[in-house]
Amino acid sequence: MSDYIVEMKHITKRFPGIVANDDVSISIRKGEIYALLGENGAGKSTLMSMLFGMYEPDEGEIYVRGEKVSIDSPTRATELNIGMVHQHFKLVSNYTITENIIMGMEPMKKVLGIPVVDLKTANKQVDEISKKYGLEVNPTALISEIPVSTQQRVEILKMLYREAEILIFDEPTAVLTPQEIASLLEIIKGLRDGGKTIILITHKLDEIKQVADRCAILNRGKLIDILDVATTSTKTMANLMVGREVSFTVDKSPAQMGDEVLKVEGLTVRNRKKFEVVKQASFSIHKGEIFAIAGVAGNGQTDIADAIAGTMEAYAGKILFKGEDITKSSIRERALKGIAYIPEDRQNCGLVMDFSLADNLALKKYYKEPFCKRNFLKPDAFTQNASALISSYDIRSGQEEKTIVRSMSGGNQQKAIIAREIDTDAELIIFVQPTRGLDIGAIENIRKEIIRQRDLGKAILLISLELDEIMNCADTIAVIYNGEIQNIAPADTLDTNRIGEFMMGVGKHE
Ligand SMILES: Nc1ncnc2c1ncn2[C@@H]1O[C@H](COP(=O)(O)OP(=O)(O)OP(=O)(O)O)[C@@H](O)[C@H]1O
Ligand SMILES: [Mg+2]
């Protein structure tokens, strides 16, 4: 019997225009946490998708528990006790938690001789495994009604329900808050201590440092190195991965603020259930200012962004853009007036997944010259526009502007949205979680770009769950808790502890 539970040997996978994995060999020990690190588009998700049977390698062999296997479907992977939580979750939103977990493996019973799904037993089973692994959920809740962190629990439970022994996590912490991350890492360690083998894809080096035993580094499809995590510094990992020194803090000069660009007065936003998610928010943002909103996820910050961009309605209050009331303006009117928006949910709100990269990069201007002349679209204009943005934002994909966005790596999808929005030359740019899912090199570039835009005189609204991003970039920091802005102050008068208190809703009345 081999020492390794999984061996991938000389794996090569090609997609049109790109070698996503180029002769990659990794071996994973039973009971270890094995991290995969690499830039956006390096081939991490592809490599793991082959272990999970979503693609088959063009070359190379896979061994599981010492035996050569052909994993031609996720069903086969499941039989081999391999499970995967994908970078973008794959849950059915109008089904309950239990229905999602048991899908394809439903316990059955007979009613009047006809087989039907035994939901009662299923709910009980789900409840049992969720308690066993410390992943409490309400089995009968609908996916559409639960927060992302719970959706992720459901994905994990789905693997455990299928008795997975080899658990693949593709960027599981990208969508979580710091508190949720800490608890997920504990859960992952617990699973390892219980004998499971874990493969963890993440861009966050401190997470690797905290939980992983070994770490493989990929770069543009090739395996660069395999490291023992305990004896390697995060700095070394960073340098190996990006191929240059990466700085974790970006330099910036003091803000040169100009006229007021955006003024929000008493903004109240209600969600679809008529629940007030933003209560009486008032603030303004000036030219040359990065105004950040800090807060724990789900406290109303993204709803403020949606209300300003027009994707959610203001229930009360006013939004003024350069003195003009835009509270009732359409989304396109606002965009034309000069508001750019990088939304949180890149796949559902930021991109048309089955359009090409060129079309996606022109979404904000395809109806204008030179993209459209006398009602005819001009393909050359789309190509030129795309080429320029692809090179200046280092958007990597197989077929340049012709690439269908769905096939692009998560991080490169994000870079595409940022490129398109900044390129509109808007006076107000709203960034929601701009660096989520990006590799450390790309994060550095995007943060520099945000500051560069500020220095060009743009007004910037930055919404981020990452306090270090806010501390690094912001000139002014607002903290939101439970839909209410707790405090607004110049960034240099606040420290993370103080912000942390406001984020928890304490500190306001001291
Ligand atoms: N189904 C596909 N069709 C065509 N190209 C693909 C497909 N899947 C992946 N690719 C390409 O293969 C390369 C590797 O992609 P992959 O998703 O594995 O990267 P990644 O390391 O997971 O990056 P990220 O950190 O951004 O998620 C990318 O250039 C991507 O565009
Ligand atoms: Mg990926």
Predicted pLDDT at 1: 56
CA 235 – CA 152 distance, rounded (Å)? 29
Whether residue 421 sits in one domain with residue 297: no
Query: If DSSP codes are grouped into helix, strand and coil, which group holds residue 241?
Result: helix
Whether residue 251 sits in one domain with residue 126: no
For the CA of 438, the nearest ligand: 1
Give, for 170, the enclosing helix (H) or strand (E). Answer: strand 166-170
Whether residue 268 sits in one domain with residue 238: no
CA 373 – CA 377 distance, rounded (Å)? 6
For atom 1 of ligand 1, the residue with the nearest CA is 407
Q: Which atom of ligand 1 is nearest to the CA of 38?
A: 21
Residue 192 lies in a domain: yes
Residue 11 lies in a domain: yes
Whether residue 179 sits in one domain with residue 87: yes
Q: Which atom of ligand 1 is nearest to the CA of 439?
A: 25
Q: CB-based contacts of 353: which residues, under 8 Å, 6+ apart?
A: 347, 404, 405, 406
Q: Which atom of ligand 1 is nearest to the CA of 16?
A: 4
Count of alpha carbons within 13 angstroms of residue 410, beta-carbon side: 25
Distance (Å) from CA 216 to ligand 2 centroid: 15
Whether residue 331 sits in one domain with residue 195: no
Angstrom distances, CA of residue 472 to CA of 21, 235, 288, 331, 457: 35, 19, 16, 30, 18
Predicted pLDDT at 2: 67
Q: What φ, ψ does residue 57 adopt, rounded to 5°?
A: -65, 150
Whether residue 190 sits in one domain with residue 320: no
Q: Which residues of 311-346 are buried (b: 16+ CB within 10 A; e: fewer)?
A: ebebbebebbbbeeebbebeeeebbeebbbbbbbeb
Out of 409, 440, 446, give the residue to mutate to test ligand 1, the one with the largest number of ligand atoms within 8 Å of its CB: 409
Residue 385 lies in a domain: yes
Query: How many separate domains does the chain show?
Result: 3
Residue 216 lies in a domain: yes
For the chain, 510 residues long, the average pLDDT of each consecutive 10-residue run is: 89 96 98 96 96 97 98 96 89 94 91 92 94 91 88 93 95 83 92 95 94 96 96 93 81 94 98 93 98 92 97 97 97 96 90 96 93 93 97 94 94 94 96 92 91 97 93 96 96 91 77
CA 477 – CA 462 distance, rounded (Å)? 9
Which CATH number belongs to the domain containing residue 29 in this structure?
3.40.50.300
Angstrom distances, CA of residue 178 to CA of 30, 155, 339, 465, 467: 29, 19, 30, 8, 9
Residue 347 lies in a domain: no
Distance (Å) from CA 255 to ligand 2 centroid: 36
Distance (Å) from CA 293 to ligand 2 centroid: 28
CB 45 within 8 A of CB 54: no
Out of 46, 204, 241, 360, give the residue to mutate to test ligand 1, the one with the largest number of ligand atoms within 8 Å of its CB: 46
| DSSP per residue, 375-433 | TEE-HHHHHHHHHHHHHHHT---SSGGGSBGGGS-HHHHHHHHHHHHHHT--SEEEEES
Distance (Å) from CA 43 to ligand 1 centroid: 6
What's the maximum distance between 2 C-alpha atoms anywhere in the chain?
A: 77
Identity of the amino acid at 192: R
Write down which residue in 425, 447, 462 finishes a domain.
425
Report the candidate in 292, 333, 239, 310 with the shortest Cα–Cα distance to residue 431: 292
For atom 3 of ligand 1, the residue with the nearest CA is 407
Distance (Å) from CA 19 to ligand 1 centroid: 10
Q: CB-based contacts of 125: which residues, under 8 Å, 6+ apart?
A: 102, 107, 161
Distance (Å) from CA 412 to ligand 2 centroid: 9
Report the candidate in 425, 492, 442 with the shortest Cα–Cα distance to residue 290: 492
Whether residue 501 sits in one domain with residue 404: no
Residue 343 lies in a domain: no
Domain that holds residue 157: 4-242
Report the candidate in 8, 31, 43, 28 with the shortest Cα–Cα distance to residue 398: 43
Whether residue 232 sits in one domain with residue 103: yes
Write down which residue in 242, 276, 291 finishes a domain.
242
Whether residue 474 sits in one domain with residue 388: no
Count of alpha carbons within 13 angstroms of residue 362, beta-carbon side: 26
For atom 17 of ligand 1, the residue with the nearest CA is 409
CB 36 within 8 A of CB 56: no
Residue 346 lies in a domain: no
Tokens 């560069």 found at: 452
Distance (Å) from CA 408 to ligand 1 centroid: 5
Predicted pLDDT at 363: 94
CA 57 – CA 9 distance, rounded (Å)? 10
Residue 402 lies in a domain: yes
For the CA of 48, the nearest ligand: 1
Neighbours of 24 (CB within 10 A): 23
For the CA of 413, the nearest ligand: 1
Whether residue 202 sits in one domain with residue 66: yes
Q: What are the tokens at 307?
A: 């209300």
Distance (Å) from CA 401 to ligand 1 centroid: 15
Question: What's the pTM value of the predicted model, to 2 decimals?
Answer: 0.88
Tokens 């949720």 found at: 180
Predicted pLDDT at 445: 87
Whether residue 326 sits in one domain with residue 220: no
Distance (Å) from CA 486 to ligand 2 centroid: 36
Out of 15, 84, 223, 353, give the residue to mutate to test ligand 1, the one with the largest number of ligand atoms within 8 Å of its CB: 15
Predicted pLDDT at 104: 87
Tokens 């990069």 found at: 361
For the CA of 357, the nearest ligand: 1
Write down which residue in 242, 271, 302 finishes a domain.
242
Measured from CB, residues less than 6 Å from any atom of ligand 1 are: 15, 18, 20, 38, 40-46, 87, 396-398, 407-412
Query: If DSSP codes are grouped into helix, strand and coil, which group holds residue 264?
Result: strand
Predicted pLDDT at 186: 94
Identity of the amino acid at 299: N
Distance (Å) from CA 188 to ligand 1 centroid: 25
CB 27 within 8 A of CB 1: no
For atom 19 of ligand 1, the residue with the nearest CA is 41
CA 56 – CA 153 distance, rounded (Å)? 28
Whether residue 183 sits in one domain with residue 85: yes
Query: CA 38: distance to chain centroid?
Result: 16
Count of alpha carbons within 13 angstroms of residue 89, beta-carbon side: 25
CB 105 within 8 A of CB 162: yes
Q: What are the tokens at 68?
A: 């050569």
